Amino acid sequence: MSWSAQQYTTFEKERTRPVRDLLNAVDMESPRRAIDLGCGPGNSTEVLAERFPGAAILGFDSSADMIDAARRRLPRLQFDLGDIQTWNAPEDDPGGFDIILANAVLQWVPNHDSLMPRLMRALSDGGSLAVQMPDNLEEPAHQLMRQMASEPRFAGKLSTAAGSRQARVDATWYYKLLRPHATRVDVWRTTYHHVLSGGTDAIVEWFKGSGLRPFLAPLDPVEQQAFLADYRAALIDAYPVMADGSVLLPFPRLFVVAVR
Ligand SMILES: C[S@@+](CC[C@H](N)C(=O)[O-])C[C@H]1O[C@@H](n2cnc3c(N)ncnc32)[C@H](O)[C@@H]1O
């Protein structure tokens, strides 16, 4: 289930806005070191570097394609390949990060109950963990993916696809988890209504770069085309095309800033 930098960046403007909103809520004068976990093609890292120009910034991602794209985009920053599940702060500087950013990635990483406290321990005193995750599993676009995956013609290959995303937990769950490890926890939820000028096709393209990947990867090319055609047809009722040819894609997202 590899990530494609090219597919992901198709909607970069829309996908990058939440990280600006997230980092605007990080109240810190001059952080020394920051890391962008799940940095993707470097779009979130670029926002981090703009917001905190004095910080030494590291990007980290498990996709070689994403890391290559990030290095091309921001050649002066360091980008490392690896998995967040096994990531730890360097042993010689275990609590050395002033900011740990994880924008639009932890929904793909399991065991938040142990992961989040581990990330908090990698922060300096007063440092911030800044996390944003899509909270859209109950939106029609995701319900329709799961519904189609359960149909007999796809169910054999897609029985585990929906499990790639972490089950949804709410703001209270994160507050209770992080509060013992933090001096302050700020949690909020926002619904962006993205205007997609390409109509229904644009919704399909959007999710091909993210949520659809585990549903398409197990299928052969013919099956992928069949799945996408039926998915597109199902989206038309759920996301009506407006008079100007665009569709509105409501997209709820959960934000957490926890200060150590
Ligand atoms: C939706 S993109 C987010 C990119 C960027 N942070 C942004 O704000 O747009 C998710 C990224 O997380 C990476 N990723 C997913 N699971 C990961 C893991 N377990 N460890 C490290 N990176 C991971 C993917 O390779 C992908 O680049």
Alpha carbons within 13 A on the beta-carbon side of 85:
6
- Show the CA angle centred on residue 243, arms to residues 238 and 246, nearest 5°: 60
Q: How many CB atoms lie within 10 A of CB 141?
A: 22
Closest ligand 1 atom to residue 47 Cα is 8
In angstroms, what is the span from residue 243 Cα to ligand 1's centroid?
A: 35
**CATH code assigned at 253:** 3.40.50.150
| Residue in the structure block whose two tokens are 């990060």 | 97
Question: What is the structure's pLDDT at 48?
Answer: 98
Backbone angles phi, psi at 164, to 5 degrees: -65, -35
- What is the count of structural domains for the chain? 1
In angstroms, what is the span from residue 4 Cα to ligand 1's centroid?
A: 11
Nearest CA to ligand 1 atom 16: 108
How many angstroms separate the CA atoms of 211 and 217, rounded? 11
Contacts of 5 (CB under 8 A, 6+ apart): 40, 41, 63, 65, 66, 68, 69
E strand map for the chain: 33-37, 56-61, 78-81, 97-103, 123-134, 184-196, 247-259
Question: What is the structure's pLDDT at 10?
Answer: 73
Q: Which domain holds residue 227?
A: 5-259
Q: Is the dihedral of CA 39, 45, 51, 54 positive or negative?
A: positive
Would you say the CB of residue 85 lies under 6 angstroms from ligand 1?
Answer: yes
Question: What is the structure's pLDDT at 139?
Answer: 95
Tens place of pLDDT per residue across the chain (260 aa): 566 666 667 788 888 899 999 999 999 989 999 999 999 999 999 999 999 999 999 999 999 999 999 999 999 999 999 999 999 887 777 778 999 999 999 999 999 999 999 999 999 999 999 999 999 999 999 999 999 999 999 999 999 988 888 788 999 999 999 999 999 999 999 999 999 999 999 999 999 988 899 999 999 999 999 999 999 999 999 999 999 999 999 999 999 999 99
pTM higher than the cut 0.95: no
